[in-house]
């Protein structure tokens, strides 16, 4: 498998894993430990894909897509740590309302995902 293929598979895996976590949490109306596992797996997949994309691009270039991707990755990381904290505290109100923040983080994460797809369309 080429470096580009690994990057693409990783990024698509991140989309699938993060989407499963966010939308299953929303549908269940309560943050659960298995959602957290998918948040972490999604973050790992996204970090892997981003690392490979950075390697392919021969480093970090300050462009809109790169900046939005970095912001989304940071938000995904903070969101995952926050979910860990919420689950550890077992505050029932926080467990039942966390999905609101999950959807916002997911929507922000979609921006660089979609822009990356659009940028890769041959002209």
- Supply the pLDDT for residue 58: 80
Q: Where are the domains of the chain?
A: 3-119
pLDDT over 70 percentage in the chain:
98
- Supply the pLDDT for residue 44: 97
Query: Among the residues of 1-123, which ranges form H helices?
Result: 3-28, 33-56, 64-89, 92-119
Phi-psi region of 90 (alpha: psi -120 to 50; beta: other; left: phi over 0): left
Q: How far apart are CA 16 and CA 14, in angstroms?
A: 5
Closest C-alpha among 38, 28, 42 to residue 98:
28
pLDDT above 90 (res 64): no
């Amino acid at each position: 498998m080429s470096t580009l293929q690994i990057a693409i598979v990783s990024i698509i895996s991140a989309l699938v894993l993060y989407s499963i976590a966010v939308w299953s949490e929303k549908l269940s109306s309560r943050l659960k430990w298995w959602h957290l596992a998918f948040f972490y797996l999604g973050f790992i997949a996204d970090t892997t894909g981003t690392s490979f994309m950075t390697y392919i691009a021969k480093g970090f270039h300050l462009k809109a897509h790169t900046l939005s991707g970095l912001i989304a990755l940071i938000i995904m990381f903070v969101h995952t740590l926050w979910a860990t904290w919420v689950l550890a505290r077992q505050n029932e109100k926080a467990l039942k309302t966390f999905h609101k923040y999950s959807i916002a983080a997911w929507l922000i994460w979609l921006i660089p995902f979609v822009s990356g797809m659009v940028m890769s369309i041959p002209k």
